[in-house]
Structure formats: structure tokens, C-alpha cells
Structure 1
Amino acid sequence: MKVKNKDRIKRQNKKTIRSEMVNMLVWTSIMTMLLVGGGLSVIIFQWSSIALREDMDFYMESVEKQFTNHLLFWERSVIYLSENENMNYFFRTGSTEGIEKVMKQGINLFSNQNMVSDTFPIVSDYYVFSKNMEYKGIHFYPETQSADNIKNTRIIDGIKRYRDQDKMFYYRKNGQEIECYFSVYDDDMERMGYCVAIFDMENINKIFSKLEKYQTYYWSIQTNDGTEIGGTGLNGILKDELINLDGEIKKDHKKYLYKKNQDSFGLSTYIIIPKSKLTYCATSNRLCENL
């Protein structure tokens, strides 16, 4: 009887030890999985944040570059105006005969360089003025004679204001239109005449609206004197605080990623996105799929 009791006790002890070992292995496995899983989650999260940061930098740069490329159309037009013999003759004498045709040939408002899409130009109107204030303009959109007269009167007034200022570029808003007044120079840097390019801010908005996938973003196009001629504003951040061409800035306990670019015609562009969008995107599969 005693032998049977001893055997039963041994068997019970074996079961208890076996159970404890199984429990220990199970808990060890669970803890290992949790540690490994947690480590992998951290690594994946960090990797996602880095990838999203690179994506965000690339996207901001791409949008900025697209705007800059459109300005190249504008730059080439100035080179054309300063080098074309017919235009040079117009600037010297004020003779407008055949000038509209010459302008349309060299300043093609319908070219791909000037278009955001098939029907949305950046520059919608272009005027040239001789020193004696004779002028000719070309237009993307057809206008009635009445509307054309009103616009011409406004542009003449703008040229007079520009001539009275000691500025290379003079910008003026008119609703969704931005008028840029500037001069054309010869090889000796002598002023030959004046030009006006009118660009459509609503169509420029279409370029920067591609940043909407980040939900919260800020952008601004500013002149050399800090006047904003388009954009959402910089959410209280001053352009002087954006020291580098790209980087990170902290404002009111919030961090932002930014890019800036000094373009031609006295313009600078700024793009700012809250850094919190990186964390939000890294933890939101649905949003990240959209990125």
C-alpha cells in the first residue's frame, strides 16, 4: 500500500514539474514573441518614418520644381524679346506693325511649358511697351473689346507706377491675377523697354494643391520685400526663420518640415508641412496607401 502511494506521489510530482516546465516554455515563448515583435514594430515604425520623410521631401521638391519650370517659360520669353531684331526695333521706335505676330511666335502662351494642364495657363497675358509707351499685348483667353480696353487701361497705369519706382520687378494683384512689371535690357544692360506678364494664381494653386494628400500644409510665393502674392501663408512662421533651403523648424511647440527656393523674377517659394504628419502616416495604413 505504501509502495502504491509513493508511486502515485511520484507520478503527481512528475505531472507538476512537467506542467511547470510547459507553462515556463509557453510564457518564455510569449515574452520572446512580445520582445521580438515590439523590436520589429519599432524598427518598422522607424523605417516607415524615414521612408515617409524621404517621400515628403521628394514631393515638396517636385512641386517646387514644377513651379520653377513654369517660370523658365517666362525667362525664355525675356531672352527672346531682348534678342529679336523686330522686337528691338519696336522698343526703339514704338512701331507696332507686325509685333503681335512676332510676339505670338516667340511667346507661345499655348506651349506646354506655360500650361498646368490642357486648359490652364500660368501666364494668361503678355504686354510689351516701348520707351515712348507704345504697346502691344497677346492673350490666352479671347476677350471682348470692352474687357480688353479696361485691362489695357489698368496695365498702362501699372507701367507708369513701375517707371516711378526704383525696382527691378513690380507686382500688383487684381483678383486672382498677378501682374508682374519688369524691364528688358540690351547686351550693355541699357533698358530697351518694359514688359508685363499676367499670371493666373488660381492655376498656380493647382500646382501646390498636389500637397493636399498630407492634409495639412502651408505654402507661399513671396517677393524680395516679403510681400506674399499667393499661397496659404506660413502659419505664423517668418521666412527669415527658414534659414536653409530645406530642414526642420520648431514653432509654438510644434515641429515642421520645410523647403524653400529662390526663383527668378524676384520670387521665392516656401512649403511647410507639420512633422506630425510623418507619425500620423506611419501609424495609418489607409493614409499611407494614399501616399
Structure 2
Amino acid sequence: MMASAKLRGWLLYAGVLAVVAYCLAPFYWMLVSSLRSTSDIFDTSLLPSRVSFENYRALLDTSQGFSRAVLNSLIVAGITTVLALLLATFTAYAMARLEFRFKRLILTLIIATSMFPVVSIVVPLLKLFTDIGWINTYQAMIVPSMSFTLPLAVWNLTTFFRQMPDELEHAAMIDGCTRGQAFRKVIVPLAAPGIFTTAIIVFIAAWNEFLIALTMTNKPGMQTAPVAISKFTGATTYETPFGSQMAAGVLVTIPLVVMVLLFQRRIVAGLTAGAAK
């Protein structure tokens, strides 16, 4: 029995390692390729024969405009996340606590709207934004992004608020708080883990958005990072800058990884604090 239990444990660890290796293999290859020189870009070794940062230097060249594209992505994803969380927090709390007719149908419609293909809304929005002069503006990318980030945030936070007992608000109101004060001073702090988790999901979705940003902008100075990567050109017209594209992929991915790791620690701390209280 002991041998069988140890074998199952080893098999479990081996399976987890295999899944992790499978998920991280593309990023590892992208990182290794970004550190190869142009002449070694098609080398198939697991490690670069010599480490070169020429791809990163070429990427950060002001003529490429990648730094501006990253800033645009931060602005669009950041504002989209803040707006989505602000609206979704109040909406989700109402959906979780209030009782009214057709509530389940409304929740179904909310999540269904996020499933519409982006291409189905891009064409009419392009016509609308052209008429009102929104092309090549941040709001032309932020407002359409809300169509899939807001329903996602509402659905996640509604599920989280439902798991919180009603006695929390009742106890706060017995102590003299109004319903709004109970929500602001008791529920929101305890809901911080769910809000942080939702913020991560929304930010990543807005950061990776491509079709809307590609359609609503035609000026290089307003392009987001995914659009800028897709339009990279090499030193000549006939050169494909694989190395620079790999370097761009690394630089775009690293902030997301760092953000997830930092917020993950806060989520665990928040869950523990909430359980202790």
C-alpha cells in the first residue's frame, strides 16, 4: 500500500511537471530566440550559442515606436480595467443581494454578450466612431473593450459576492451602518481577493486585445503593443524580423507574469485575513 501511494504521488508530480513544461515551452523558446543574433535565429539548440541583445536594441529603437505602443496598451488596459471593476462591483453586488424578477435571465444575457465575436461589433462601431471623430483615440479602443470585459467582471464578482454571508451586512447595520456604508466598509474590503482576481483577468483580456485596436487606429503613434508587433518590419522590405518579434513578445509577456505573481500573493493574504476575521 505504501509503495502504491508513493507511486501515485510520483505520477501526480510527473503529470504536473509535464503540464507545466508543455505550457512554458513556447515562452521559453520565445525567450531563447530573442537572445539569439540574427545570423543564429534559426538555430534549434535549447540554449543560444552566444547571447545577443541586438533584438532588444532594435526593438527599443525610437524609429520602431514600440515604447509608445506599450504605453498605449497600458493606458487602454488600465482604464478599461478600472471602469469595468467600478461598474461591475456595484452591478454584481446588486445581482447577488437583491431579489427581482428575471434575475437569472439577466445574468445569462450578461455573460452571453461577452460571447459575441468581436468582428460582429467592429464594423458598425467603425462606422459610428468615424462619424463622431473617435478614430485614433483611446476611447475608440476602451469602449468596445468594455463589451467583453464588463460582462466577465460582473459574472465573476457576482459569484464571489454570493459566497459571502448576508449576516455581514446585517451585523454592520445593527452597529449603525447604512446599507451603503456596510458595503463600502465591510463587503468591499473582504471582497478584495475576488476583486484582485477579476482585475487580473480583465487586464489580461484588455492587454491582449488585437482586432479592435487594429481596426480603430491607423496612426503608428496610437497603436497598442499587439498591433505594433504584427506590423514590425525588418531592416529591408524583404526581411522578416523574427528576433525582434520574439523580443517584443517577451517584453509584452513579462509585465503580465510579474503582475499575476504580485497579485497572487495579495489574493492569498486576503483570503487568509478574511477567514481569520
TM range (shorter): under 0.3
**TM-score (norm. length: structure 1):** 0.27
Max Rg structure? 1
Q: Which has the higher contact order (CA 8 A, sep 6+)?
A: 2
The structure carrying a bigger strand percent of its residues is 1
Structure with the higher helix share, 1 or 2: 2
